[in-house]
Structure 1
Amino acid sequence: MLKKLTVLCVLAAFTLPASFALAQTSASAPAAQNAEAPASAPAAPQTPPAPPKRCDFALTLPSDEIFEHNKSTQPSTLNSKGKERIDNEVMAKLANCAKVDLIVVSGHTDLTGSQQQAQKLSEKNADAVVAYLGSKGLDAPMDTMGMGKTQQIKACDDKLAKAKLAECLSPNRRIVIEGRGLAK
């Protein structure tokens, strides 16, 4: 048994790195400086943190449904259906947000009338929606844009009778509400 142990010690002395042998024999050099550094394990790859969840949305509401219409006033007063849709659709989406970064409301009109009239009407409609959102206690940055008749989504034959043309162009008369924020 003693013979095996002696052989193992001798073999170990021959297989040790030269720097270890020098450290054992040299009194002036500290052992830590001459010893080979052990191989370090590679660092585990770090995964970047997941981006925060968003509660962004865009909702289009038809102006013909949500604004009061009569011969004496232009739309810009929300009717009960418009308020109900905003309460049920917009406010419900905002309830899923921990923080609302921005609300943008854009008003759109159809091609009838002058550009100046269309621009003014689209701005008034967007302003009416923002005012209603503010009355509901929404405390977030809000912006409005009147797009007038610049972004039509449906084209119609202008030779149609006035009532048929108005009905055909109705998809162009709309409010778009966009929300941006971080989800809960």
Structure 2
Amino acid sequence: MKKISAKNTLMGMILIPVMFSGAVLAQETVIDKDKAVKKPEAYGVDDRGVVARNTTGLCWQTGYWTPAMAIPECDPDLAKKTEGTVPVAAAPAVAAAKTAPEKITFSADALFDFDSAKLKPNGIQSLNEFVTGIKDVKYDLIIAVGYADRIGSDEYNKNLSVRRAESVKAHLVSRGIEPSRVFVDGKGEANPVTGNSCVGDKKTKALIECLAPDRRVEIEVAGTR
């Protein structure tokens, strides 16, 4: 089977293809689920026990991750390589280049009202179309990550982005997606798309409109067709 290599950007109801670069991994990190008692949900793991990695090859940390839960194969600077660490076996080398998973970005304004984590009718329709689009995909895992703009406190924006990602997961599950294969995270106002292009800090209509691209939910699907 052929690995998914398309990366798409969906802003509202419009799907726009964009370029991407594939990440070649020499090996995959495999966790023995029966032995990984001390680190139950620190990293996203598919049904094969393989730790999920992002497009740059870094292990995907779940919202439960803490430095104390780090493993050497993913966070060598944090983990202590002692006999007590969780056993991790190296998987066989990948025969062909492993390309980036399919990633779709939903505008938060298309999914939710401002400062809300309740899905709008149009947002529900967009997610339904997403589920239909992956019906022929044999996916290992789906990762939903919420982002907020910089209006408000860091803590509030972090919580809002998590709640929005959880709302997306809940709807995907309601449409038949296995809950154990969907991971969520919230990054708050991190990684803004707008950079420094929006001037001001006061909550004005102009600033809210300018920061709209920063309010988003990214869904990444790792699997094969």
Distance 1:161 1:86, change over 3 A: closer
Give the corresponding residue for 1:79: 120
Q: Which amino acid aligns with 1:182?
A: T
Partners of 1:160 and 1:75 lie apart in 2 by: 19
Structure with greater contact order relative to length (CA < 8 Å, sep ≥ 6): 1
- Deviating beyond 6 angstroms after TM superposition, the runs of 4 or more aligned structure 1 residues are none
Question: 1:93: Cα distance to partner?
Answer: 2.7
* 1:150 and 2:195 correspond: no
* Equivalence map 1:10-25=2 (5 Å): none
Distance 1:159 1:121, change over 3 A: closer
Task: State the number of aligned residues.
Answer: 126
Q: Which amino acid aligns with 2:3?
A: R
Unmatched tracts of structure 1, length 5 or more: 1-51
Unmatched tracts of structure 2, length 5 or more: 5-100
Partners of 1:161 and 1:78 lie apart in 2 by: 23
Fraction of identical pairs, as percent: 28
* Equivalence map 1:32-47=2 (5 Å): none
Deviates more, 1:156-165 or 1:172-181: 156-165
TM-score in terms of structure 1 length: 0.64
Any idea what the Cα deviations from partners look like across 1:98-129, whole Å, max 9, x if unmatched? Answer: x2101000000001100000000000000000
Partners of 1:159 and 1:129 lie apart in 2 by: 29
* Equivalence map 1:75-154=2 (5 Å): 75-88=116-129, 90-97=130-137, 99-139=138-178, 141-154=181-194
**Which of structures 1 and 2 has the bigger CA Rg?**
1
Partners of 2:184 and 2:175 lie apart in 1 by: 17
TM-score in terms of structure 2 length: 0.53
Q: Which amino acid aligns with 1:180?
A: A
2:109 is paired with a residue whose SS is helix
Please tell me the root mean square deviation across aligned C-alpha atoms, in Å: 1.7
* 1:164 and 2:206 correspond: yes
